[in-house]
Amino acid sequence: MNGGLDLEGERSMLRVYLLDGDRFGRRPLADYLLEEARKAGLAGATVLRGTSGFGRHGFETILDVLEFRPQFQPVVIEMVDRRDRLEAFLRSSWTEDLPDRMVTLERAQVELYQARTS
């Protein structure tokens, strides 16, 4: 899916920090962003669901999440590609609808990138 991109070497990683309850229309925002990253032809993206976290909106643990407020479970989406491609993705329209959340862009050293053969 990476369009023949040789990903090994110095690349960049985009991280989008969300909450599980964040939505784009009726869809979970994490699912929407994953689909948008695929459509943009990015080399790869992963959605990670956290067990606890803290930040501007307080502190949440997995016990709070499971028993009381599942919408506050922390979610991080990581995307790796060339910096220019990630910056272009950041300039697309999805950022206009991003709730009060954080996005980071940092250097990443890709040591191994192999596609499955089957």
Phi, psi of 15 (to 5 degrees): -120, 130
What pLDDT was estimated at residue 3?
Answer: 46
What pLDDT was estimated at residue 83?
Answer: 95
Concatenated DSSP letters of 25-48: TTEEHHHHHHHHHHHTT-SEEEEE
What pLDDT was estimated at residue 65?
Answer: 46
Query: pLDDT-based confidence at 77, cuts 50/70/90?
Result: very high
Kindly list the structural domains of the chain, giving each domain's residue range(s) and its CATH number in brackets, ordered by start. 9-108 (3.30.70.120)
Is 2's pLDDT higher than 50? no
- Please tell me the pTM assigned to this model: 0.79
